[in-house]
Amino acid sequence: MTLYILPTSRAADEDGTQIMFNLYAVHHEKAKYLMRQALFHTSDDELIALLEVSLQTPRYRAISRCRRMLDTGNKQLSSGAHSVHLSLTESRYSLVSRDFEESAKRAKQALLYAQQKGSQQAIQDVRKLYAILYQLAPKNNPYVVNLGVELGVFPD
């Protein structure tokens, strides 16, 4: 959860600051928590192992609540400042839901936002998502291959 402390003309505290909650961040963090509960994993390796088992499905209640939190967080988003993080989380949501094409689309969108902002950390996060998608999705999936081309990764 992200808290912003902003100066205010009214003296809310002795030092003239007031705490304002970032509702987008609250919904975004809750969505990430629910996603982990939908298909319980603590690392990317565990997630890959769970997704490789075709019988393992995400818990419906947690995954549907996660979708609602992402939608609510998106409504709270006032500017494009958090677009990279939202796109990354939505890509992971689609990954957990086994929608590999949508996950690759969202990851590509996150990559574009990251390149616009010059965020090397976000680009690395997209690379990690690509590695997972490349391992799980069918090898000829055009969306995953295109994401790899955008990242400059050309698989064998």
Establish if 118 belongs to a structural domain: yes
What mean pLDDT do residues 124-139 have? 92
Residue 1 lies in a domain: no
Three-class SS state of 97: coil
Q: How confident is the model at residue 138 (pLDDT cuts 50, 70, 90)?
A: confident
Total number of domains constituting the chain: 1
Q: Summarize the confidence of residues 19-47 as an average pLDDT.
A: 84
Q: What's the CA gap between 70 and 93, in Å, rounded?
A: 9
Residue 59 pLDDT > 80, yes or no?
Answer: yes
- 74: in domain: yes
- Evaluate whether residue 6 is within a structural domain: no
- The pTM of this model reads 0.79
Task: Report helix, strand and coil shares of the chain as percent, to nearest 5.
Answer: 65, 5, 25
Residue 132 maps to a domain: yes
**Residue 15 counted as domain residue:** no
Q: Indicate whether 126 belongs to any domain.
A: yes
Domain with 143, as residue range(s), is: 23-151
Asked whether residue 11 is assigned to any structural domain, the reply reads no
